[in-house]
Amino acid sequence: MKLKLGYNRMLVIGIVMGLLAAAAQAYFQGQPPVANGISFLGHPRELLNWIVNNLFGANWPVAKAFIVFPPLTVIGVFIGSFIAAARNKELKLRPGPVRKKVLAAIFGFLVANFGLLWGACDMRTALLVSYGSVLAVIALFCVVIGVIVAGYYMQFAARKGVGQ
Amino acid sequence: MIPAMATLVVGVLIGYMGQRSTFCTISGIRDLILRRNSYRFRGLVGIIIGGTIGYTAFKFLGGDIPNFPLGMDIVSPGILVATIVGGLGLGFWSVMAEGCPYRQHVMAAEGRVGSMFYLLGFYAGIAYFFLVTVKWLELLLRFMR
């Protein structure tokens, strides 16, 4: 199966993702919290907390919808991406995107902590914007500012020859 | 069981689509601003459009869409500060990592070693947040009340 959606492929995929997230909440009990159909901070957090609670008897917070069974979005994405990569002969071990492994891990650590401080990843932030949240609009604006600052920093660093 | 299975199905679908399209909201914003290339940015716009259509339509069709639209949900100054700092950090460090958390999951499944290490740090970061960061935040919020 090949996705051939032409010039607006990305827009169509985004719309499909938004509709899937809304359907997951509306008809498959994927809440509370609201606008949580797709989240790459919320769902990994729920999954990790669920595992820790069940393995070590801890009491880390888990959303009401996922107390009995955890969200499996992350597992699904691994399966879907793996199948897509394998079918298209793109499945192989290779370096990057960040070549220094320790640095990549540090970036992941920081993204998790800053994201949880706000409470959502960029995708769920977009979903919350469509849900009409004023706080999410502010958060998305701040994400854009953060992206701009980092983009110009990387350009500056590249010009000065500073390694990543 | 139903929410877990729904998230699994949604995950497989968006995983497949994400791998074929290199979908990434952070890279979309970055490409638009720094390279004047709107290709990936349309994904972010698409999510907002799809979400708006979905939540509105499903609400009218009797789906479980409470408190829609959310409106003014800033409950305290502390939450606002956390949102601003968190949003800025999320955007900045995601660009440094060359992709949003979703894209990193997709790239790790493709075999990108950097993304695998990113995810190690990412899940360690989530654990650290609940063990340490939350306690600092509680202290801070107490002072800001």
Condensed to tens digits (0 to 9), the pLDDT of residues B13-71 reads 999 999 999 999 999 999 999 889 999 999 999 999 999 999 999 999 988 889 888 88
Q: Is there a domain that residue A46 lies in?
A: yes
Identify whether A92 is part of a domain: yes
Assess if residue A26 is contained within a domain: yes
Q: Is residue A105 part of a domain?
A: yes
Burial class of residue A1 in the structure, from the number of CB atoms within 10 Å of its CB (0-12 exposed, 13-18 middle, 19+ buried): exposed
For residue range A23-60, what is the model confidence (pLDDT) as tens digits? 999 888 777 888 988 999 999 999 999 999 999 988 88
Q: Does B77 touch chain A (CB under 8 A)?
A: no
Query: The pTM is what?
Result: 0.93
Number of domains in chain A: 1
Cβ under 8 Å to A: B residues 4-63: 4-21, 23, 25-26, 28-30, 33-34, 39-55, 57-59, 61, 63
At residue A31, the pLDDT reads: 75
Residues of chain B in contact with residue A11, where contact means CB-CB under 8 angstroms, are: 42-43, 45-46, 49
Q: Which domain holds residue A97?
A: 6-120
Q: Is residue A130 part of a domain?
A: no
Cross-chain residue pair A151–B137, CB shorter than 8 Å: no
Read off the pLDDT band of A96 (50, 70, 90): confident
Q: Which helix (DSSP H) or strand (DSSP E) does residue B86 occupy?
A: helix B77-96
CA distance B61 to chain A (A): 9
Q: Given this model, what pLDDT does residue A163 score?
A: 60
Residue with tokens 């600092």: B136
Q: Over pLDDT 90: what percentage of chain A?
A: 71
What is the rounded distance in angstroms from the CA atom of residue B38 to the CA atom of residue B28?
7
Q: Is the ipTM of this complex over 0.85?
A: yes
In terms of C-beta density within 10 A (0-12 exposed, 13-18 middle, 19 or more buried), how is residue B15 classed? Answer: buried
Distance from CA of A89 to the nearest CA of B (A): 10
